[in-house]
Amino acid sequence: MKFTPKYFYFLFLALTIVSCSSDDGVGKDEEKPTISINYAEGFPQACEQLVRGETYTFRARVTDNMALASYSLDIHNNFDHHTHDDQAGDCDLEEKKDAVNPMIFIENYAIEDGVASYEINISLTIPEDVDTGDYHCSYSVTDETGWQSRTSVDIKIID
């Protein structure tokens, strides 16, 4: 049997037709989850002052159109006055300074059972020996398909 260009074109056409899909995107998750601290129990709000040695409950609401997977809380110094693209609020900053013993808290948490709405609730004590000054508090949330959202606020740690 001789393989002719006619058979090649027929095979190419057949593969093209078979590889086409009627999938119109129904059921695909194309939305990012949402995250908010802008409600009565949301904490901390922009420009909040946290006292060393005190315990606080960090709270944020997260939602998704399908299912949530995880979230994180990140607290780090802002002694160099950097910003984040999603940052809310405009707080008075102290002079720039070098960190000696800054607070650094970065933890990730899983959200079980594929729920679409969840309230982050983390109890955290501010260590007594950390540097006082300007900090950022950042929340992030990821849904089951990998979409991620985040929000950040300026806070201060004081004596």
Q: In the chain, what are the domain boundaries?
A: 31-158
Output the CATH code of domain 31-158.
Answer: 2.60.40.2550
pTM: 0.81
**Across residues 2-18, what is the average pLDDT?**
59
Indicate whether 10 pLDDT > 80. no
pLDDT of residue 127: 98
pLDDT recorded at residue 87? 65
CA distance 129 to 132: 9
* pLDDT single digits (tens) 64-98: 999 999 999 999 999 999 988 776 667 999 999 99
Give the confidence band of 25 by pLDDT, cuts at 50, 70, 90: low
Mean pLDDT, range 38-66, rounded to an integer: 97
Q: Which pLDDT score, from 0 to 100, does residue 27 have?
A: 73
User: 28 pLDDT band (50/70/90 cuts)?
Assistant: confident
Report the Cα 75 to chain-centroid distance in Å: 13
Number of Cβ within a 10 Å radius of residue 142: 21
The answer to whether the beta carbons of residues 106 and 72 sit under 8 Å apart is: yes
**Residue of 86, 62, 26, 30 lying closest to 142 (CA atoms):** 62
State the pLDDT at residue 3: 57
